[in-house]
Amino acid sequence: MTELAQYLEHTLLKPEATVADIIKLCEEAKKYQLGGVCINPCYVALARHLLTGTGVKVITVIGFPLGATYPEVKELEAKMAADNHADEIDMVMNISAFKTGDYQAVENEIKMVVAAAAPSLVKVIIETALLTDEEKRKACQLVIAGGAQFVKTSTGFAKSGATVSDVRLLKEEIGNAALGIKAAGGIRDAATARAMLEAGATRIGTSVGNLIVAEDI
């Protein structure tokens, strides 16, 4: 199987996704030896059951897709996901608080989620499509200060998703810090996925992970 597979997080976050859809997603991830599946919290236990022993990670989202709920709700979501054996948790930062300039609130919330999610890893979605370059850099700094393990570009629900230039900018800001980058949103072919990895991404979120790997073989 292509080495690209290990970086791909096969994603299905549509509100209309059914149990049958999630089972199909997990079967595709197993078949193509993808890095993980990213699903809504209500399906974490099912995905864990289907994927235990396969090497495919179970990833879920919290505060999704707006990031505008109470910090305590995100904290509880993170704990419940970890208790259901999610390997990783993608949280949406409070974009409104960030845009308002309440950076301490954003950092504190990340810290709360990181603590609640342990030992699961945490990625923080900063929704790059809504930020200036200066704001992207500041958000990256807050993710590092909050103790998360990854910064993630996008929910896939905004006006646009990941771009190579944004990944490069985040990589530049991170420098030598121990922070991964997940590029997500609009990545639908192997060439784009590889371009993101070459720019500095360490994970790729995509709804067509199976097709990308099949194309790349």
Do you find a cis peptide bond into 41, omega within 30 degrees of 0? no
Contacts of 20 (CB under 8 A, 6+ apart): none
Interatomic CA distance for residues 195 and 182, integer angstroms: 13
Cα–chain center distance at 55? 18
Interatomic CA distance for residues 70 and 82, integer angstroms: 19
Q: Are 92 and 62 in contact (CB under 8 A)?
A: yes
Contacts of 78 (CB under 8 A, 6+ apart): 62, 89, 91, 113, 116, 117, 120, 122
Catalytic residue among 57, 79, 138, 152: 152
Interatomic CA distance for residues 90 and 117, integer angstroms: 10
Catalytic residue among 74, 136, 138, 182: 182
Catalytic residue among 79, 87, 90, 136: 90
Which DSSP symbol is given to 4? G
Active-site residue 182, yes or no?
Answer: yes
Helix 133-146 to helix 103-117 angle (10° resolution) is 40
Interatomic CA distance for residues 165 and 16, integer angstroms: 32
Active-site residue 90, yes or no?
Answer: yes
Q: Which residues are known to be catalytic?
A: 90, 152, 182
